[in-house]
Amino acid sequence: MPELSIIIPAWNEAGYLPTTLATLQASLQALSLPAEIIVVDNDSTDDTASIAAAAGVRVVHEPEHRIARVRNAGAEAASGEWLLFVDADTRVEIAHLERMLTAIEESCAGGGASIGFDRVQSVPQRMGLATWNALSRRFRLAAGCFVFARADLHAAIGGFSEHLYAGDEIGYSRQLDRLGRRQGRRFVIIDAPPVISSARKMDWFRPWQHALVLATFVLFPWAGRFKRLSWFWYRRP
């Protein structure tokens, strides 16, 4: 079994964190897979930190609201030879861990998984999800809700780019893939059922706002360097 550190960035996640942790801990237990779980409390104003502590996981505090920095803070505190980054509203099941372990045994550099939502309400949402998953598999790009990597390779590329407020997992995937190839390793999208995350942004933002964000990042790929243009990931109702 690899030494595994699971890192969960969390900003005001008291509503979702209990289910995320319970599902993750049950999956680890079912596989008899030892792992340290680190919740990176991103200066929450709710009970995020106390919920994590009550669940018996390690809590690290990171005040800066920049998701790349929060992920990196967790990695800096981790001791495992493998890192798994999971969003606080994402359910990691047994199948995902099993496929990840298989990829690790096959000497990958890291990887991700296809994603799904706990509910999909419209045809455009289904099309958008299917399009992302197709691009993810074709170009080996991980979604930020489930990314794993060898800790030494994570360190070698400098972790997630802290020049970005959003989209840092895309460059991270490509850098890991390039570095891994030099060692005969690949960045993979594991063959498993989709990792399920919350569809809460469907409730928070209207369809035109989703379309605006997509258009912004298509027309201006460097939008992630600016927090104002990355509002979709930092604004809560």
25-69 pLDDT per residue, tens = 999 999 999 999 999 999 999 999 999 999 999 999 999 999 999
**Position 119 pLDDT exceeds 90:** no
Domain boundaries, the chain: 4-196
pTM to 2 decimals? Answer: 0.94
Query: Smallest Cα–Cα separation from 86: which of 3, 196, 163?
Result: 196
Asked if 147 and 190 touch (Cβ cutoff 8 Å), the reply is no
List, in sequence order, every residue forming a beta bridge with 84; answer none if it has no partner.
Answer: 6, 148
The label of the residue with tokens 């099941």 reads 93
**Position 212 pLDDT exceeds 80:** yes
84 backbone dihedrals φ, ψ, rounded to 5°: -125, 120
HSE-CB of 124 using CA atoms within 13 angstroms: 7
pLDDT at residue 1, rounded to an integer: 61
Which CATH homologous superfamily contains domain 4-196?
A: Spore Coat Polysaccharide Biosynthesis Protein SpsA; Chain A (3.90.550.10)
**Position 125 pLDDT exceeds 90:** no
What three-state secondary structure class fits 122?
coil
